[in-house]
Structure 1
Amino acid sequence: MSKNRFAAFAAGTLITVASIGLVATPAEADTTRAGCTVLKPAGPKYVGRDSSNRPVVEWVVKGTCSKGRIIRVQQQRWEEDDPKGLGRGDDYLGSHYPDWVISFQNRGGSFVRTYRTLVPQTWDAGGGKEGNEELYQKVRFRVKEGLTTSAWTPWERGGASWIFH
């Protein structure tokens, strides 16, 4: 195969691969502040149905902290309406209250916090998206070490999960 034919073949293959989304891209980063790291929030996971046959999802927040830290984590739950993911017009579903406060005073380590909720029905009949909800979460945190408390991190938005009614 000549160099020109190989280059055309390689370019065509790259375009095909890129068009179906198989090109590797850098992962979005976890957030680290003052010796604690919170992993990029994941979309909620479908875990079954309640006794009234309503869908139930589990929201998970994970992270690690060094010894001597206390982390305070805030979580918000959202239903996505903006197809561009910019948050315009999205429905606020609630927050975990009170904040999660996890102490690593005696030793460092990791944490996992989960919260289960029913899937709300935010669509109107005839609105064109009957039967599914696009759910995501936002997480932020701050860290206390000794007498010093860091500022809150910016809200970190996770990817959306499609949950069907």
Structure 2
Amino acid sequence: MRTNTLSKPKRARIISVLAVSLGLAGAGLALGTPAQASTLYSCTVTPLKPIFSHFNTSGVKVLDYRITASCTSSRSLYIQQQRWEDDSWPNGDDYLGGTDFSRYLSAGTSTTIHNYRTLVDGELGYEEVYQKVRFKVGSGGVWSGYTGWQNSAVLSISN
């Protein structure tokens, strides 16, 4: 019968390699998670979780799709927002609409953009809504490219 012939130092090295490998694999998964904010050329834009705002005159729920933006240097921002309804597999998410915003922020300032939209009744039960934003930064007539899309958290709300 064969017994374990690995010395203690050799086993320790193997365990260390496995731990590092598993740690790197976990880091890759964490890096694949969408970020909540994006920063580019001293400006940060964050899509916030939609919130219930009020009922309109027809009794339909109105949501506020909020976006915060701040810049440490004076910059112009061009922000693209898309609103979505989250659906589980095999159905794809439903596109609810998009809006573009232009803002100028002085150095060290921030703002919250409010976009009020009626709740779309697209299915039985609850609606799961979120937003995606991306932006580009301008200064002195020169504009950056767009950031990647950033997702907000999902709001689950009855229709």
Interval of TM-score (by shorter of Structure 1 and Structure 2): 0.7 to 0.9
Match in the other structure for 1:147: 141
| CA spacing shift, 1:44–1:70, aligned 2, 3 Å | same
**Corresponding letter in the other structure for 2:72:** S
Contact 2:135 2:146 in 1 (8 A): yes
Match in the other structure for 2:94: 91
How big is each residue's C-alpha offset from its partner over 1:66-104, in whole Å with a ceiling of 9 and x where there is no partner? 3331111110000011269xxx611100011xx211113
Larger-gyration structure (1/2): 2
Contact 2:36 2:152 in 1 (8 A): no
Unaligned regions of 5+ residues in structure 2, if any?
A: 1-29
Please identify which structure carries the higher strand content.
2
Task: Output the CA distance in 2 between the equivalents of 1:111 and 1:68.
Answer: 13
Aligned pair partner of 2:42 in 31, 35, 40: 35
Unaligned regions of 5+ residues in structure 1, if any?
A: 1-24, 124-129
| TM-score w.r.t. length of structure 1 | 0.70
Match in the other structure for 2:67: 61
Contact 2:48 2:68 in 1 (8 A): no
Match in the other structure for 1:72: 78
Match in the other structure for 1:119: 119
Match in the other structure for 2:109: 109
Q: Deviation of residue 159 (structure 1)?
A: 1.3
| TM-score w.r.t. length of structure 2 | 0.72
**Corresponding letter in the other structure for 2:137:** V
Q: How many pairs align?
A: 128
**Corresponding letter in the other structure for 2:39:** T
Contact 2:70 2:111 in 1 (8 A): yes
Please identify which structure carries the higher helix content.
2
